[in-house]
Structure formats: structure tokens, C-alpha cells
Amino acid sequence: MNESEFQKDITLIAAASDNHALGKDNQLIWYISNDLKRFKQLTSGHAIIMGRKTFESMPKALPNRKNIILTRNTSYQANGAFVAHTIKEALELAGDDSQPFIIGGGEIYTLFLTVADTIELTRVHDHFEADAFFPEIDLQDWTLVGEEKNEATPDQPYAYSYLTYKKQAK
């Protein structure tokens, strides 16, 4: 599958620590209310593509979004979600959505990194023990086009930054 096959702005959206940690034991490691609000604002009305473990970590399919689960399990079914078995199938299920979001987990981000156009990354400025990690961003392939820093507060003990990357034209 070539990158121009789908005329979409395929966007990875994630929160990862300085050591690329995403989660542990199928759970988020931190709670950043403003980041969750930003996630909802950016993804509402769009297709969201995720792995089975990510879907199963949520109480239910996320509302106001087309939930698509990518899994190798050909008999997998999920309430309120579509199931795909290949990247191509997942993107086809996104239909005419011009900006489907890839929401995790670690393996799914790695699979989509080669076809993605944009990365919306919340970088949590700390190191955490984890078992799921965001892939390394190769700055020869990606350009940082936006950055918004947020300091730690009494309610939110971690400083974090919203980083927007765009894939460089080849």
C-alpha cells in the first residue's frame, strides 16, 4: 500500500512520556484532564482506529466517532465498533473521513507510522515504567510544526507539551 493510496490526513494521536511510555497493564499511566479534553475535541466526528487491547481498555465505544478496531482475530466482534484485519481495510472503513485518527496502542502506532501524515503528540515530561511504547519519531521524516508547553500544577503534577508533527515530503 502506498502512502498516496488514501487521500486522507492520517493522524496518530497519543500521549507518551519522555521515555515513550504509553501505558502499563492496558491502562493509561497518568491522568491529564486537559489532554483528554483535547483528544475529544480533535477526534469527535472522525473515525478512530485502534487495536483490540485499546478498545477493550475503554468502558465502551467512544461516542460521536466511528470506532474501528484493527485485530488479527478474524472472529472478533465488538459492540458499537467496526472490525478490520488490515491497515487498508481499517482505512476503507473510515470512509470519506478526511482525517481518521489512530489512537493506539503501541503496535498500532508502529503499523500506521509509515502511512501517517500527522502526529498529534502530548509529550509528558517524565519517565515511567510501561509495557506499551510510542515509536521513535525520526526527525529526518517528520517536522515539528507546532508546540504548546504546559507547566505542572497542583492538580496536574506533570509538565507536558502538545507537539504537532507533519511528515516531510519525499
Looking at residue 37, its pLDDT comes to 96
Residue by residue, DSSP assigns 108-140 as HHHHHTTT-SEEEEEEESS----SEEPPP--TT
CA–CA separation, 90 and 23 (whole Å): 23
Largest CA distance in the chain: 47
Q: Which three cell numbers stand for residue 54?
A: 485499546
CA–CA separation, 100 and 117 (whole Å): 11
CA–CA separation, 20 and 70 (whole Å): 22
Q: What is the CATH number of domain 11-167?
A: 3.40.430.10
Looking at residue 44, its pLDDT comes to 98
CA–CA separation, 1 and 51 (whole Å): 20
Looking at residue 6, its pLDDT comes to 60
Cβ–Cβ under 8 Å, residues 24 and 53: no
Strand residues in 21-109 grouped as ranges (E): 21-24, 27-28, 47-51, 66-70, 82-84, 101-104
* pLDDT per residue of the chain (170 residues) written in tens, 0 to 9: 444 456 799 999 999 999 999 999 989 899 999 999 999 999 999 999 999 999 999 999 999 999 999 999 999 999 999 999 999 999 999 999 999 999 999 999 999 999 999 999 999 999 999 999 999 999 999 999 999 999 999 888 999 999 999 999 87
Looking at residue 71, its pLDDT comes to 97
